[in-house]
Amino acid sequence: MAAWVDTPFTGSAPAGTPVYRVALRQQSLAGTAGPAYVEVAMGETAQFTVTPDTHYETNISGCGGSLAGATYTTAPIVSASKVTGVCQVIVKFTPEKYRVIYEAGTGGSITGKAEQLVEYKSNPLDVKTEEVEAVANTGFEFVKWDDGVLTAKRTDHSINDGFTVTAEFQAQQLTLTYLAGPGGTLTGDSVQNILYGGSGAPVTAVPNLGYSFDR
């Protein structure tokens, strides 16, 4: 590769300064890049314009340059290698990747790949995630995903942007039933609905006349 420095000439290059041809190599479609080459005097920089198609990203490197918006500017070109010649700029346009995150709210967890990178494809039906499942902890039950999906298992299709969704869970409702055997009655609410992990209201077993509470 050619060498370059961080300090170009001050003002115009001296007469007789070598002129270098910096070439641009485009390694994929899905975007435009140009010009094919730029001729610069030793110590000057070269600029190229790169524009990806919709849903594609620009990957560009070479000649110590940097990308600002759609313009790639090389470092000052100061020499050429005897083996490889002047350095080249390489550009490739790659599909966008969308980050999809599946989270679990209180009372559950996610099985499957909770964070996924999905690559854009021209056919939207081909852009999909791997299946995940919202799994409730003991004493909880799955309610829904916060984007309205009602099934615990899901695979998302036709993705054109990243997103995060959260699985919602709720504590299970339990029914407590208290019964009195022969010789007694109960005071208090003998049938109670509580949430898992909660406590019921007091109930007292009251023996009839001539009886005593056993257990």
If DSSP states are collapsed to H, E and C, what string results for the chain? CCCECCCCCCCCCCCCCCEEEEEEEECCCCEEEECCEEEEECCCCCEEEEEECCCEEEEEECCCCEEECCEEECCCECCCECCCECCEEEEEEEECEEEEEEEECCCEEEECCCEEEEECCCCHHHCECCCEEEEECCCEEEEEECCCCCCCEECCECCCCCEEEEEEEEECEEEEECCCCCCEEEECCCEEEEECCCCCCCCEEEECCCCCCCC
Closest CA to 176 of 188, 193, 189: 193
Q: Taking 60 as the threshold, does the pLDDT of residue 2 lie above it?
A: no
Residue 197, pLDDT score: 87
Confidence of residue 119 (pLDDT cuts 50, 70, 90): very high
pLDDT in tens, 149-180: 999 999 999 888 899 999 999 999 999 999 98
Residue 63, pLDDT score: 94
CA 142 to chain centroid, in Å, comes to 23
Residue 98, pLDDT score: 94
Q: Taking 50 as the threshold, does the pLDDT of residue 6 lie above it?
A: no
Residue 8, pLDDT score: 41
pLDDT in tens, 26-64: 999 999 999 999 999 888 999 999 999 999 999 999 999
Mean pLDDT across the stretch 117-134?
Answer: 91
Prediction pTM value: 0.69
Work out the percent of the chain whose per-residue pLDDT is above 90: 68
Residue 19, pLDDT score: 87
Residue 86, pLDDT score: 86
pLDDT in tens, 55-90: 999 999 999 999 999 999 999 988 776 556 788 999
